Amino acid sequence: MSILIKNGRIVTATDDYTADLLIINDKVAAIGQKLEVNAKQTIDATGMLVLPGGIDPHVHLDMPFMGTFSSDDYSTGTLAALHGGTTMVIDFILQTQGDTLYNALATWKEKSKGKAYGDYSYHMAVTDFNENTRTEIAKLINEEGITSFKTFMAYKGALMIDDGQMVDLMNEVKEHGGMVTVHATNGDMIDKLIAKHRSEGKLSPLYHYLSQPEVTEAEASARFADMANYTGVKSYIVHLTCEGALNAVRKATERNQKVHVETCIQYLTIDASLYEKDFEGAKWVMSPPLREKKDQATLWAGINQGLVQVVATDHCPFMWEQKLMGKDDFSKIPNGHPAIEHRFELLYSEGVNKGRITPNKFVEVASTNAAKIFGMFPQKGTIAVGSDADVVIFDPNEKHTISVDSHHMNVDYSAYEGWELTGKTKKVILRGKLAIDDGEVKIEKGYGQYVKRKPFSKI
Ligand code: URP
Ligand code: ZN
Ligand code: ZN
């Protein structure tokens, strides 16, 4: 099996040049000028960008949450991701409180078995850290390749752990070369505000937003950074949304601490004014909520300052029928929104096309940094000889419009309906196989593979 991509503009996190790219079997075999080889298939990429496949390290597929399940499973979710240029996702396994991490892993292996189109890996969300769970950490890292452990500082009673458990977990994870990631918002403060709004009869989606003010995220982010500094564990904040939280991370750099930061495409592109649309605002009920324009500016700047290293989605879609569970009470609206398909193209259009980030920065935050931070580089996240041939051929000038009528996600509305984008994914190659060709699917369900990740060096 071989593919020769000719005359494309190859952009990685560090380079930007025109060349030919030869793929043999599942790997990049050669890069050079005017390669003279007889490949099985030749693609003329003149005028196109040739990019590493996108990596979205924050998705929730078929996840039990708030009395229902997210509506994309491994099949629909990874296929929609591929259509948009994302060749790999990292999904969250959720431990059930009182049960083991390995039982949760078995459930997620069943969910994903034979179903994925795109490649995937798992984070383990630890919702109950105790002496039993402690013994599972080393095995998960060394035998299963699950090196990142997610924690929740909110969602009390279901997912949240307390600070004592957090510090214990951090010590254990550090010992074995893993990383602790966090949903950093102050759960107790949020629960108080939710109760207050409900008791006052303030029940619309707007009060979801007003129950999670910026301070709840800034406080928890600073506390998490302090605990990570104290224990010395490798740390990562998921879906960071606002100036206050980013300032906590900036402050941590003053003591030479590195806290990795992910934001999500929605926090860069849409804002809290959407909650003024009465119940329609439920489409954007997610945690943390959308923020303000000043926060968007901070996040774009944070990307360019290197403080924000990853742009993910927190893809957690629900059908409108499911959102209606909270018709009379915002606290019952399943939290999450659909974006897995649009992250790559939205980020290009709003970022590169509008001059906010360079093409190199785009590749860095849409692919390379996730591969590096989560122990998959250089197998994933770049175009280099020997790397997996996960390649997107992208037209930087083609205009198109997002709509529920044309998207591939299993959800019956779009959070970005009518958005006009510049830049479109034309072809997607996954491990050397043409997977998407101008919107046509060329691979079978089950082609997607589990990616085992490497523990982090202690040096
Ligand atoms: O609203 C969200 N973010 N839903 C998914 C769960 C989480 O907090 O990441
Ligand atoms: Zn979260
Ligand atoms: Zn999430």
Pull the structure tokens for residue 242. Answer: 């606002």
The Cα 366–Cα 402 span in angstroms is: 19
Q: What is the mean pLDDT of residues 311-337?
A: 98
The Cα 350–Cα 357 span in angstroms is: 9
65, 101, 106 from 129: Cα distances, Å: 20, 10, 18
* CA neighbor of 275 nearest in space, from 256, 294, 289: 289
The Cα 140–Cα 368 span in angstroms is: 24
* 390: Cα separation from own chain's centroid: 17
Pull the structure tokens for residue 318. Answer: 């629900």
The Cα 56–Cα 33 span in angstroms is: 31
> How many residues appear in the chain?
459
* CA neighbor of 72 nearest in space, from 408, 442, 443: 408
Q: What is the pLDDT of residues 433-456, one digit of tens each?
A: 999 999 999 999 999 999 999 998
Pull the structure tokens for residue 346. Answer: 């939205």
**Which ligand lies nearest to the CA atom of residue 65 in the structure?**
1
Residue type, 375: G
Ligand 1 lined by 183 (C-beta under 6 Å) = yes
* CA neighbor of 124 nearest in space, from 336, 294, 374: 374
285: helix, strand or coil = coil
Residue type, 131: E
Examine the pLDDT at 374 and tell me if it is beyond 80. yes
The Cα 430–Cα 27 span in angstroms is: 10
Rounded to 5 degrees, φ, ψ at 135 are -70, -15
Show Cβ contacts of residue 188 under 8 Å, excluding neighbours closer than 6 positions: 156
Q: Which atom of ligand 1 is nearest to the CA of 154?
A: 8
Give the pLDDT confidence score for residue 458 in this predicted structure: 58
Ligand 1 lined by 335 (C-beta under 6 Å) = yes
Ligand 1 midpoint to CA 174 (Å): 25
Give the pLDDT confidence score for residue 82 in this predicted structure: 99
Examine the pLDDT at 457 and tell me if it is beyond 90. no
260: helix, strand or coil = strand
Which domains occur in the chain, in start order? 2-51+386-400+418-441 (2.30.40.10), 53-381 (3.20.20.140)
**Which ligand lies nearest to the CA atom of residue 70 in the structure?**
1
Q: Whose CA is nearest to atom 9 of ligand 1?
A: 314
DSSP state of 348: I
Pull the structure tokens for residue 91. Answer: 């999904």
Lowest mean pLDDT among 252-256, 299-303, 402-406, 454-458: 454-458
Q: What is the mean pLDDT of residues 265-284?
A: 98
Which letter, b or e, does each residue of 338-366 get, where b requires 16 or more Cβ atoms within 10 Å of its Cβ?
Answer: bbbbbbbbbbbbbbbbeebbebbbbbbbb
Tell whether the torsion through CA atoms of 432, 437, 442 and 446 is positive or negative. positive
* Beta-sheet pairing, 49-52 with 391-401: antiparallel
Specify burial of residue 400 (Cβ count, 10 A radius: 0-12, 13-18, 19+): middle
Q: Which atom of ligand 1 is nearest to the CA of 335?
A: 1
Ligand 1 lined by 181 (C-beta under 6 Å) = no
Around ion ligand 2, residues with a beta carbon closer than 5 Å are 183
Please provide the average confidence, as pLDDT, over all residues in the chain: 98
Rounded to 5 degrees, φ, ψ at 313 are -125, -30
Q: What is the mean pLDDT of residues 336-355?
A: 98
Mutate to test the pocket of ligand 1, among 262, 335, 411 (most ligand atoms within 8 A of CB): 335
Q: What is the percent of the chain with per-residue pLDDT over 90, rounded to a whole number?
A: 99
Mutate to test the pocket of ligand 1, among 208, 270, 316, 332 (most ligand atoms within 8 A of CB): 316
Inter-axis angle of helices 131-144 and 163-175, to 10 degrees?
40
Ligand 1 lined by 217 (C-beta under 6 Å) = no
The Cα 331–Cα 255 span in angstroms is: 38
Give the pLDDT confidence score for residue 459 in this predicted structure: 47
449: helix, strand or coil = coil
* CA neighbor of 5 nearest in space, from 448, 408, 390: 390
Residue type, 405: D
Ligand 2 midpoint to CA 152 (Å): 7
